[in-house]
């Protein structure tokens, strides 16, 4: 499993028209613009909304919405990112236009933004196997114009972001919808007034990035405050005038890279732009040869893998004053508490003191050491192996449970026999 994950995390995925009007999943190297097909052309000709794609990093699934020319209903396509096979393509139920997709890897939920029929916008969840939608929010501000694909998700914070313009206004607002309750948390106007053509959320930084037209028809990366609508510039205006398909962007949060597709006014083929989200620099913008006809309608980069959990803090007791010159053993107990079961610790993994001493007998002794009715784990470590120095005031124990969860505990100590 590990090698497959490493490959996945290095891949920028794209959805393009391969030249026959169908849709094809590819990988694209942002440094060279080299394109590698993953799937065959899917249902040519196949109409799709720009930027309406999502990626299931852990499950290796790429989602997009399309309408084959022979049909009248939108379909929700799921493509295997490893084999290129189309896993499913059910008709969306009920039939409606989809203007955004976002996937929550941790919860295994595919969110969508749709027109529920009254011109407003509604956040729903989709079952990619059946196409069935489950509403989360009511219809928001009907009629509400939105640029397709300009959405983002803060999965941990339960926030779905999108850009919209109410019918009576002429400026963009950034909407934040609670994905649990469906409530609209905020919808401030974007300041300064400008066109927003891409959104990405960096969960590690807690930053909502936006790609906008700063007024000269170039494109500029900004940090957008969803509570106030205030934009803070990250980059200067890039290559004005620069045409882009809305929502065709992606974020590599670990690498501080924001990707988007654009075509300078004097050129016909598109370029893949990379912006450093820390400095605003553009480290690369190579030309995607042939993309004038084989144009891109979606980009997706794998979500950052969650960092491994830190060690569980356990309660320990070093049961005696330590004489660093002793040839004996040091008894240490790991207590069972309301939140931790000491009998789940694997004694063979436990280490103690600066010398990382292992358990002297190769196993622990389970008993109710503190008389509270719970079973605790008593361990013994050779004093010389533990290497506790004279004058030390604390000592630490580390190890793992039988299920490989790291543990760590520290106790105050005193030493003797040092003079």
What residue ranges define each of the domains in the chain, with the CATH number in brackets? 2-300 (2.120.10.30), 312-412 (2.60.40)
pTM: 0.73
DSSP, collapsed to helix, strand or coil, labels residue 38 as coil
Tens digits of per-residue pLDDT, 249-275? Answer: 999 999 999 999 999 999 999 999 999
Triad 263, 268, 273: Cα angle to 5°: 25
User: From residue 264, how far is each of 29, 127, 186, 269, 415 by CA, in Å?
Assistant: 20, 39, 35, 9, 73
pLDDT at res. 135: 97
**What confidence score (pLDDT) does residue 8 get?**
36
What confidence score (pLDDT) does residue 51 get?
96
Q: List CB contacts of 390: < 8 A, sequence separation 6 or more.
A: 324, 415, 418
Partners of 186 in the beta sheet? 176
Polymer length in residues for the chain: 419
- Helix or strand holding residue 295 (H, E): none
Neighbours of 251 (CB within 10 A): 27
* pLDDT tens for each residue of 351-407: 999 999 999 998 999 999 999 999 999 999 999 999 999 999 999 999 999 988 899
pLDDT at 201: 97
**Would you state the pLDDT for residue 364?**
92
How big is the CA angle at 159 (ends 158 and 165), to the nearest 5 degrees? 160
| DSSP structure string for 334-347 | EPP-SS--GGGB-G
pLDDT at 5: 32
Task: Give every CB contact of residue 276 below 8 A, 6+ residues apart in sequence.
Answer: 256, 257, 282, 283
Residue written as tokens 């999965």? 155
Per-residue pLDDT of the chain (419 residues; tens, 9 = 90+): 233 333 334 599 999 999 999 999 999 999 999 999 999 999 999 999 899 999 999 899 999 999 998 888 899 999 999 999 999 999 997 778 899 999 999 899 999 999 999 999 999 999 999 999 999 999 999 999 999 999 999 999 999 999 999 998 989 999 999 999 999 999 999 987 789 999 999 999 999 999 999 999 999 999 999 999 999 999 999 999 999 999 999 999 999 999 999 999 999 999 999 999 999 999 999 999 999 999 999 999 998 754 556 789 999 999 889 999 999 999 999 999 988 999 999 999 999 999 999 999 989 999 999 999 999 999 999 999 999 999 999 999 999 999 888 999 999 999 998 87
Q: What angle do CA 184, 64, 41 make, to 5 degrees?
A: 165
pLDDT on residue 1: 28
Token code pair at residue 298 = 């979606």
Contact 58, 44 (CB under 8 A): no
Check if the beta carbon of residue 228 is closer than 8 Å to that of residue 188: yes
How many other C-beta atoms lie within 10 A of the C-beta of residue 302? 24
Q: Detail the DSSP E strand segments found in 265-375.
A: 271-276, 296-300, 312-313, 316-318, 329-334, 351-352, 365-367
């Amino acid at each position: 499993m590990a090698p497959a994950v490493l490959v996945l995390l290095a891949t920028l995925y794209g959805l393009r028209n391969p030249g026959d009007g169908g849709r094809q999943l590819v990988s694209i190297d942002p440094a060279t613009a080299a394109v590698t097909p993953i799937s065959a052309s899917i249902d040519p000709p196949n109409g799709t909304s720009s930027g309406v794609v999502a990626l299931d990093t852990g499950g290796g699934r790429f989602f997009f919405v399309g309408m084959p020319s022979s049909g009248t209903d939108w379909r929700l396509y799921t493509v295997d990112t490893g084999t290129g096979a189309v896993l499913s393509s059910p008709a969306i139920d009920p039939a409606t236009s989809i203007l955004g997709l976002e996937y929550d890897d941790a919860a295994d939920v595919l969110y969508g933004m749709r027109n529920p029929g009254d011109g407003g916008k509604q956040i729903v969840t989709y079952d990619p196997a059946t196409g069935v939608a489950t509403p989360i929010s009511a219809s928001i501000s009907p009629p509400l114009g939105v640029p397709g694909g300009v959405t983002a998700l803060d999965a941990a914070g339960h926030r779905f972001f999108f850009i919209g313009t109410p019918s009576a206004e002429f400026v963009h607002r950034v909407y934040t919808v609670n994905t649990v309750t469906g409530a609209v948390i905020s919808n401030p106007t974007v300041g300064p007034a400008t066109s927003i053509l891409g959104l990405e959320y960096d969960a590690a930084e807690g930053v909502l990035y936006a790609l906008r037209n700063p007024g000269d028809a170039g494109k500029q990366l900004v940090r957008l405050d969803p509570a106030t609508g205030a934009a803070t510039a990250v980059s200067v205006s890039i290559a004005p005038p620069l045409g882009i398909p809305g929502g065709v962007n992606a974020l590599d949060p670990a690498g501080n890279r924001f990707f988007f597709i654009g075509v300078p006014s004097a050129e016909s083929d598109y370029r893949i732009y990379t912006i450093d989200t820390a400095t605003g620099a553009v480290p690369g913008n190579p030309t995607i040869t042939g993309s004038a006809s084989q144009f891109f309608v979606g980009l997706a980069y794998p979500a950052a893998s969650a960092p491994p959990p830190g060690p569980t803090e356990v309660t320990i007791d070093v049961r005696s004053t330590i004489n660093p010159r002793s040839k004996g053993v040091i008894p240490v107990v790991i207590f069972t508490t309301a939140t931790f079961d000491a009998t789940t610790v694997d004694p063979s993994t436990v280490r103690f003191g600066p010398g990382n001493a292992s358990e002297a007998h190769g196993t622990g002794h389970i008993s109710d050491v503190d008389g509270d009715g719970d079973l605790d784990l008593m361990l013994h470590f050779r004093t010389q192996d533990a290497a506790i120095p004279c004058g030390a005031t604390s000592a630490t124990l580390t190890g793992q449970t039988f299920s490989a969860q790291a543990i760590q505990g520290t106790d105050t100590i005193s030493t003797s026999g040092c003079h």
